[in-house]
Amino acid sequence: EKAWIALEKDKNKPKQNRALREIYPPGSVFKVVTAAAALEAGKVKDIDAATDTPEGWKIPLSTLPMKNHSGGCANASLNEALRISCNSVFAKLGDDVGRDKMVETAEKFGFNAEQFTPVRSSASVYDKNADRGGNALSSIGQFNTATTPLQMAMVTAAIANDGKLMKPYMIDQLRAPNLDVIKQNEPEEMSQPVSPENAQKLQAMMENVVSNGTGSKADLKMSGVKVGGKTGTAQHGEKNAKRPYAWFISYAKTDQGSPVAVAVIVEDAAGVGREDISGGGLAAPIAKAVMKAVLKSRG
């Protein structure tokens, strides 16, 4: 009883199932959802064509320009913008797509609804009532956007699965004491957030992030295996006063399909300087280890 009470009082919430019950600002990993929305809405057809995005693109209803953390974002293509994670390009795309279409795409991936695995997962959030400025910020994983790690794993899995999102479940089968199978869970399609053609464009961009961009530490360098990913460093606390969250989402794909999709969040990077906290630096190596273990287990 004493141990239970101590756990209940622990501010770090060690009993909390963070994968299902905690929601976090996703930061730049959400940009893959915005990219999907832009492709589905026809706002981008060629992922390597320049976008009409000035460096200092103004946030709607604000005098503030959108800040980028890397150079080369002016008129960057969608492919290049994902590779170097340009805020301006994706905020403008979210504004071009519009709030309602952004909401529609996010909800096709599972946002704004609880998931049951059968354990209940908290609903991830994309604001359905945001003004233009709020929607632009939401499109880069800021403002009110919040997600469970499960939700971002679902996004990644759907992209790797050529646009088809499968219903998540924890238990493969339930057996009686004599080992008779009482219940067998079967794969079940949940939705088709993006077309196969657009999913393959997203895969090409995510694989470029790992091969040539911020996600290089997740590259398995295994023959016949392609790895796609996206880094994210999400603000935390009022005026970003707390240590940021480090995100990485990824999948590994072989000629037999994609057996693994991963979402990693490092909530409190103890012992690491604030300026060294990044999804590519901290979360990507964890994702790499998980993907490698899954591929090895499959022979």
| Active site residues per annotation | 28
User: How far lies 200's CA from each of 38, 159, 164, 175, in Å?
Assistant: 14, 8, 12, 38
DSSP 121: E
Round to whole Å and give the CA distance between 232 and 247: 5
Contacts of 285 (CB under 8 A, 6+ apart): 217, 218
**CA 72 distance to own-chain centroid:** 23
Round to whole Å and give the CA distance between 204 and 35: 12
- Provide the token pair at 216: 């290089």
Round to whole Å and give the CA distance between 4 and 1: 5
Round to whole Å and give the CA distance between 245 and 265: 7
CB 16 within 8 Å of CB 42: no
| Strand ranges inside the chain, DSSP E | 115-116, 120-121, 165-166, 173-175, 181-184, 189-191, 226-234, 245-254, 257-266
CA atoms within 13 A of residue 159's CA, in its CB half-sphere: 33
CA-based nearest residue to 257, from 294, 215, 216: 294
